[in-house]
Amino acid sequence: MSSEPVESTTAAIRLSAKASGFARRGQPWFYGNEIEAGPLAPSRLVRVHDEGGRDLGLGFTSTSKLALRLAGPWPGDALPDREAFFHVRLQAAIERRASWLGPEDGARLVHGEADGIPGLVVDRYGKVLVLQSTSVVVEEALSAIVPFLAERLHADSVVARNDLAARKHEGLPEEVRLLHGRRIEEVTIVEHGVRHTVRPFSGHKTGFYLDQRPARALVRELAKGRRVLDLFCYQGGFSLNALAGGAVSAVAVDQSGAALQQAAAGAQANGLRGLFTHEANVFDFVREQREKNEQYDLIVLDPPAFAKSRRELEGAERGYRDLNRQALRLLAPHGFLVTCTCSHHMVLPRFEELVRQSAAGLPFRLALRQRLGAGPDHPVWITHPESEYLKVLLLQRMD
Ligand code: SAH
């Protein structure tokens, strides 16, 4: 994994003609057989050339199957100092968000390839930064990355949430550890005026589902006077927004008792009434509700990624279809369904097709009112579809 640096200022790796075409069209990932020549020192920052020796910017090499990940253009033709590279990219990522984000405490600051840093994610929760790295190049540069971020963002704590299976492809251990400052178990962020407790060491992902911010805002907007059902609620991000937006009640369902306790604590911390938590398997719960003829005016369906790989897609599709069909049948007249998939294998047209199939045979028409995704702090790099993993549809029962 750690070989001696053999970087020269001019050495570059050269892609095959076919791969060069893909690279020019914006594809960022390449296998070993697409690299024609060059100093193939593993896991380094390299300059990349096309088949004719023309510049394609920088890249990270790796000993994994994914031998090269492009890291975007860079002026000149020399290889930058590694520290300078990371500082410039991090600074740009921070500045890019400065104009989009309001005074929220929670935001994604670095979103991997889309920010020109393959294999690095950084989320900010107030004074706590949580990062995830899936590249040896990033890992070996942490001594440059962490102090820079800590200083620029006045962080009290920087945590590595590297309990990620993807790390094994790079020969990196799965671990959660403090990289800077003091250990902070819980931090409160305020989003749209609602307080959320984030657990950097133990919460899902880096501690919170930052990516659902636009959908949380939507739920809040729609909730007034409505009976809300929050399926796969985790710590109740949607329910808290629904209640803050004037919902008469929010029924929050999850199979995790601990998550439901956190949801209840969240409602209390925000002074919100009307939360009813229900520990259950959602698949059973929706069936039982149907048998009881229960109805809801606003349903949020935000399951975990059923398709973690392409192989699992078929089973996953069945799951999404079933759940959506059941949820649609629980909608009261004029009711809304906010339905989500966070699996990047489930592309938007396919997801819409599944929802369409779920709607077949309903005794009412269904309108597609809005399409949403993650917020602007999770930029989607248009030529890298993997960066668009969250799709959210707002549907409404037409009566
Ligand atoms: N909507 C949440 C995030 C959902 S994460 C938010 O906005 O924060 C997925 C959640 O689904 C987890 O809390 C997990 O405990 C729960 N879960 C997974 N499978 C489940 C099942 N079959 N029934 C009930 N809950 C389930």
CATH of the domain at 41: 2.30.130.10
Residues 167 and 65 in one domain: no
Ligand 1 contact via 211 beta carbon (within 6 Å)? no
Q: How far is the CA of 5 from the centre of ligand 1 (A)?
A: 45
Q: Whose CA is nearest to atom 12 of ligand 1?
A: 234
Whether residue 213 contacts residue 340, with contact meaning beta carbons closer than 8 Å, is answered with: no
Question: Looking at per-residue confidence, does 1 or 263 come out higher?
Answer: 263
Looking at 130, 157, 187, the residue that finishes a domain is: 187
What span, in angstroms and rounded, lies between the C-alpha atoms of 47 and 275?
Answer: 55
Residues 106 and 178 in one domain: yes
218/143 same-domain check = no
Q: When comparing pLDDT for 1 and 230, which is higher?
A: 230
- Interval between CA 304 and ligand 1 midpoint (Å): 6
For ligand 1, atom 16, name the residue with the nearest CA: 232
Please indicate, yes or no, whether residues 47 and 128 belong to a single structural domain of this protein: no
* Residues 103, 62 within the same domain: no
Asked, for residue 196, whether it belongs to a domain, the answer is no
CB of 147 shorter than 6 A to ligand 1: no
Q: Identify whether residues 38 and 182 lie together within a single domain.
A: no
217 SS3 class: helix
What are the beta bridge partners of residue 13?
Answer: 48
Are 112 and 142 within one domain? yes
Ligand 1 nearest atom to the CA of residue 259, by list position: 13
Question: What mean pLDDT is predicted for residues 167-174?
Answer: 94
Q: Estimate the crossing angle of helix 313-329 against helix 348-359, to 10 degrees.
A: 50
| 67 and 87 fall within a common domain | no
Q: Whose CA is nearest to atom 9 of ligand 1?
A: 304
Average pLDDT over residues 334-355: 94
Residue 6 forms part of a structural domain: no
Residue whose C-alpha is closest to residue 166's, from 44, 69, 32, 234? 69
What is the rounded CA–CA span in Å between residue 383 and residue 110? 18
Mutational pocket test of ligand 1: of 202, 232, 251, 308, the residue with most ligand atoms within 8 Å of the beta carbon: 232
383 lines ligand 1 (CB under 6 A): no
**Average pLDDT of 333-355?**
94
Regarding the beta carbon of 322 and ligand 1, being less than 6 Å apart is answered no
Structural domain total, the chain? 3
C-alpha to C-alpha distance for 272 and 105, rounded to whole angstroms: 21
Q: What is the CATH number of the domain that holds 255?
A: 3.40.50.150
Q: Which atom of ligand 1 is nearest to the CA of 256?
A: 15
According to the model, what pLDDT value does residue 387 have?
A: 81
Q: What is the CATH number of the domain that holds 147?
A: 3.30.750.80
How much is the average pLDDT of 245-269? Answer: 98
124-167 tens-digit pLDDT: 999 999 999 999 999 999 999 999 999 999 999 999 999 999 99
Q: How far is the CA of 232 from the centre of ligand 1 (A)?
A: 4
Pocket flag, ligand 1, residue 26 (CB < 6 Å): no
What pTM does this model have? 0.93
- Asked if residue 388 is part of any domain, the answer here is yes
Residue 18, in any domain of the structure: yes
- Name residue, tokens 């990516």: 211
Residue that finishes a domain, picked among 28, 50, 72? 72
Structure tokens at 227: 């009976």
Domain, as residue range, for 267: 209-398
Predicted local distance difference test score (pLDDT) of residue 224: 98
Q: What residues act catalytically?
A: 342
**DSSP per position, 121-190:** EEEEETTEEEEEE--HHHHHTHHHHHHHHHHHTT-SEEEEEE--GGGGGGTPPPEEEEEEE---S-EEEE
Q: What is the mean pLDDT of residues 190-219?
A: 96
Mean pLDDT of 41-63: 92
Same domain, residue pair 257 and 372: yes
Contact indicator for 47, 13 with CB cutoff of 8 Å: yes
- Same domain flag for 235 and 178: no
Kindly calculate the radius of gyration of the chain based on its CA atoms and give it in whole angstroms.
23
pLDDT confidence band for 308 (50 / 70 / 90): confident
Ligand 1 centroid–CA 38 distance in Å is: 46
**What pLDDT is attached to residue 170?**
92
Q: What are phi and psi of 131, to 5 degrees?
A: -120, 155
Q: Is the CB of 257 under 6 A from ligand 1?
A: no
The atom number, within ligand 1, closest to the CA of 234 reads 13
194 assigned to some structural domain = no
Same domain flag for 175 and 313: no
123 touches ligand 1 (CB under 6 Å): no
Beta bridge partners of 194: 191
Q: Which of these three, 72, 102, 122, is where a domain ends? A: 72
Determine the atom of ligand 1 nearest the C-alpha atom of 281. 23
Residues 188 and 194: their CA atoms lie apart, in Å, by 10
Q: If you take atom 22 of ligand 1, which residue's CA is the nearest one?
A: 281
pLDDT value of residue 99: 76
Q: What is the pLDDT of residues 8-43, one digit of tens each?
A: 445 789 999 999 999 999 999 999 888 887 666 778
Q: Is residue 197 part of a domain?
A: no
In a domain, 65, yes or no: yes
136 belongs to a structural domain:
yes
Residue 296 main-chain phi, psi, to 5 deg = -135, 150
CA distances from 130 to 184, 283, 340, 394 (A): 11, 33, 25, 31
Ligand 1 centroid – CA 34 distance (Å): 40
Is residue 254 lining ligand 1, measured as CB closer than 6 Å?
A: yes
pLDDT beyond 80 at 363: yes
Same domain as 303, residue 272: yes
